[in-house]
Structure 1
């Protein structure tokens, strides 16, 4: 039961699900009961701090807020300390070293590649690239260079336990320690570099901190490849769903910055 709560904050709202915050409780509304069931199981399997499940009444899942504050936001500099970013890298390594769930993360499309796996470019990538150029969001040269950068993501990898949507808003820190990781709806097995890329995109200044905490087995070119790939795929959706002018998106800034590395 939720007492003395005066405001309801809409955290996420789209056609698949809605997440609301009421005081210290998050309410996730999802008509896909299997997805909710899997998210609860993923959190139970994860060897790092996750939110407490308070109750479940389909289609609603209630979870407790975690202490501290988010590591940062994609579109602005992080206020967290370098030590907090190092701690985040260490937490991700703990997750990746754990036995992975039997199902794949929906965010890592997979195909057999001998004993390992690799991703494939999303089928809509060409259309997204064409849209970026046709709408003068970025130049054809920037798109071409980022396609080149993104090719490094087409590498064979061994599946590990990944969060699948490890944006910095999903990693909470209290001082210099990770206090909890939220939103496990994409959790499963997948490419470790995908999590690291999601965590550090648009915050390259903290990549060294994350690498220090993670401790080895890092493919920097693959991380940057995922930065390019995800940014190419996201700009159109954001523009068409009222998130503002594309020129202001951090994804566009990432594409422009990475084009100089190709």
Structure 2
């Protein structure tokens, strides 16, 4: 009999693996609904849904290996990194779950989070202040696109030059495509050129906005990660990303 492997577990949700089956347990029914709908709409490969019985969603394992992880080595060819372009070819969903936070809401959340980072002694004031100022560039008007919402490289599976699938669509919905690109290349800046090559010359990509999203995402994540048993201070992770911009 296959052993039960705990892939990730925290107060909001847990993912277990039993052989080639992943069991996602999530108390937020809306988040599961959004994930299932997003997987039905996206033009990229996604895991096969085997069955669904709230609060559990069972999906099949994807072939290939992940592109890597934040703070660790990355794999995959330049073509595999460029192939992520297909994700944003999807039409804007009419009703898929997450509408995304407004610029005003994001700015307020960022201000509150930065204050807590300093007050709780997690990060020095100058580091937070500088990166908060640079992150401001992300808070500009953007044309909404169908986005993954949490496009970490650990969520992207590849086999040679081919993307075999993308997992974890619970944050999918209308958002800024550059946020997806920033999440995808966070801590792996050397692959940004490969990703942009997939977009060709027909679309202007603002690199300063991508860098701003790196910082904004990192500032918002540090305290949550620390409180949920993860280590944003590990080499190559969120705090290193913030330090690299000083």
- TM-score between the two structures when normalised by the length of structure 1: 0.85
Match in the other structure for 1:177: 162
Per the TM alignment, residue 141 of structure 1 is displaced from its structure 2 partner at its CA by 2.2
Distance 2:99 2:233 in 1: 23
Check the 8 A contact 1:105/1:164 in 2, yes or no. Answer: no
**Residue 16 and residue 135 in structure 1: after superposition, are their counterparts in 2 closer, same or farther (change >3 A)?**
closer
Per the TM alignment, residue 41 of structure 1 is displaced from its structure 2 partner at its CA by 1.3
Aligned with residue 60 of structure 1, among 48, 56, 62: 56
**2:17 maps to 1:21:** yes
**2:85 maps to 1:100:** no
Per the TM alignment, residue 223 of structure 1 is displaced from its structure 2 partner at its CA by 0.9
Distance 1:139 1:232 in 2: 12
Distance 2:36 2:132 in 1: 36
Number of equivalent positions? 244
> RMSD over aligned Cα, in angstroms?
2.1
**Residue 10 and residue 206 in structure 1: after superposition, are their counterparts in 2 closer, same or farther (change >3 A)?**
same
**2:164 maps to 1:191:** no
Distance 2:97 2:182 in 1: 15
**Residue 220 and residue 98 in structure 1: after superposition, are their counterparts in 2 closer, same or farther (change >3 A)?**
same
Match in the other structure for 2:221: 234
> Which 5+ residue runs of structure 2 have no aligned equivalent?
none
Check the 8 A contact 2:38/2:96 in 1, yes or no. Answer: no
- TM-score between the two structures when normalised by the length of structure 2: 0.90
Q: What does 1:1-262 correspond to in 2, within 5 Å?
A: 4-5=1-2, 7-87=3-83, 91=84, 93-103=85-95, 106=98, 108-110=100-102, 118=103, 120-134=105-119, 137-215=122-200, 216-244=203-231, 246=233, 248=235, 250-259=237-246
**Residue 132 and residue 32 in structure 1: after superposition, are their counterparts in 2 closer, same or farther (change >3 A)?**
closer
Per the TM alignment, residue 67 of structure 1 is displaced from its structure 2 partner at its CA by 0.5
Match in the other structure for 1:113: none
**Residue 137 and residue 59 in structure 1: after superposition, are their counterparts in 2 closer, same or farther (change >3 A)?**
closer
Distance 1:27 1:244 in 2: 24
> Which 5+ residue runs of structure 1 have no aligned equivalent?
111-117
Per the TM alignment, residue 73 of structure 1 is displaced from its structure 2 partner at its CA by 0.2
Distance 2:99 2:69 in 1: 20
